[in-house]
Amino acid sequence: MQQEQDARARRRILLFCFVALFLLQQGALFLLYYAGPKLLVGDEAAYLAWARGMAGLGPPVADAGWWPPLQAWLLAGSLRVFGDTLVPMQLLQTALLLGAAAFLRALWRRCDGRVHAANIAAALFVLNPSNMAYAHWLWPEPVHLFLLFAALYLVLRAREALGGVALGGALLAKSLLSLFWPLFALLLLRGRRVRGALALVIGVAVVTAVPLYQGWQRTGRPMIADSSAFNLVGGLSERWRSDYVGDSVAALAHDYFSSAATPIERNAIYRARAEAMLREQGLLATLEAQFGRQYFRLFSAKTTLLSQLPGPACAGHLGSYRNAPPWLAQVLAAVGDALHLICLVGFAVGLAFWRRWREPLVLWSALFFVYQLGLYLLLHVKARFLLPMMPFLCAFAGSAIASLRRPDAAAAVHLRGGARWLIAAGLSAVLLMLALLGPWFDRSCG
């Protein structure tokens, strides 16, 4: 009885510490954002202009066929209801990221079998300011991530139709899953595969049918939005291992939109341009160059939050957090750096020692990583594109950390075996190199 009471008391203390740290982090991020306030970066300005036009707070903006519409719809709804302020949208996105972490906890508890591992996984995600800062920005990552994990949770709970609706919403937020979403069928229970697959497809179709048709009219392809040709040219044009260093994407975007009058024509021009670049460079030479650059950009410890903090422009710092208190920026950068590296090393260890490979979610996540890494070998890459993979990095790291504290022969991760330690050390070294050494290789600041 006493041990049970002590365990409950420890859980209450840990919960209190988690809530306190989270609220402290959120307060720091809000202070950082509104000290200036922060300047919008890249597509944020486009989403805001699009939403303001929808809400009647600015001139109408035509759909360029480049961005999926859900983020603009939500932002327009917030502006219409609450007026010209971003705070309600930021609070909504904070709740969505917390919801994604809650789904991650539930899913990983099922995979690993230990509540402790699932709790650590969720905490690693939520307490990293580089992750939670997305709640304050206008990119669609929080909406997409919440709907992606809602779809995973619902499909694994045999709620395929609702899972399909959530998956359709994820497709309306980001185009990332356009080619991958049929692989959600791997998560269906054996006895429900035909019926479940049909329900999943119907759920997706209900949400996406009209936007797909509209996208077909705009772009000539049955896609909600299509920026693939631009991103391919952008990826083949990149020269640095860190994003926002000598960034040519803004100029390339201007060239894209001025290249022709319609999305169909613009995409055709840029697909031809990408094919010409591949022919000129040669496939093998192109792949070699991309391998040596793109994954440094993706796994960089200079996360999107750190890129926007004050620092030298030659190193890829935008300084969009104007008037940021130096001490606060340094603290958040240190915490973000530390947790980013802990997640990468923890992922390497957890993956090397993982034992439950028959879990459907583990197989799905492995294919998800392969799919994304394959896409970003050629496409334009920024560090923020790692966010959809980050919960899985945190999940394997959570299992590894839980095994350090509570060794259990039946656990999904059991830290024994010399060969596995060699694999863990090798993978850790590769990920740390990708995270840290890009600026050293580039010497962009001389």
Q: What is the DSSP string of 291-303?
A: HTTHHHHHH-SS-
Q: Which two tokens stand for residue 109?
A: 């508890």
Range of the domain at 316: 2-442
Residue 407 reports pLDDT greater than 70: no
Phi, psi dihedral angles at 130 (to 5 degrees): -65, -25
pLDDT value of residue 415: 87
pLDDT value of residue 194: 86
3-class SS of residue 63? coil
- How far apart CA 363 and CA 347 sit, in angstroms, is 15
Residues 6+ apart with CB under 8 A from 54: 60, 72, 73, 76, 80
Averaged over 273-280, what is the pLDDT? Answer: 93
- How far apart CA 233 and CA 274 sit, in angstroms, is 5
3-class SS of residue 445? coil
Averaged over 197-214, what is the pLDDT? Answer: 93
413 strand-pairing partners: 354
Residue 263 reports pLDDT greater than 80: yes
pLDDT value of residue 249: 83
Q: What is the mean pLDDT of the chain?
A: 92
DSSP letter assigned to residue 355: -
Residue 245 reports pLDDT greater than 80: yes
Q: What is the pTM of this model?
A: 0.94
Q: Total domain count for the chain? A: 1
Instruction: pLDDT band for 5, please (50, 70, 90 cuts).
Output: low
Instruction: pLDDT band for 406, please (50, 70, 90 cuts).
Output: low
8 A C-beta contact, residue 361 and residue 118: no
Establish whether the linkage from the previous residue to 325 is cis, with ω within 30° of 0: no
- How far apart CA 131 and CA 33 sit, in angstroms, is 15
pLDDT value of residue 7: 66
8 A C-beta contact, residue 384 and residue 135: no
Q: Which residue has the higher pLDDT, 406 or 443?
A: 443
Q: Which stretches of 313-352 are DSSP H helices?
A: 326-352
354 strand-pairing partners: 413
Averaged over 361-377, what is the pLDDT? Answer: 95
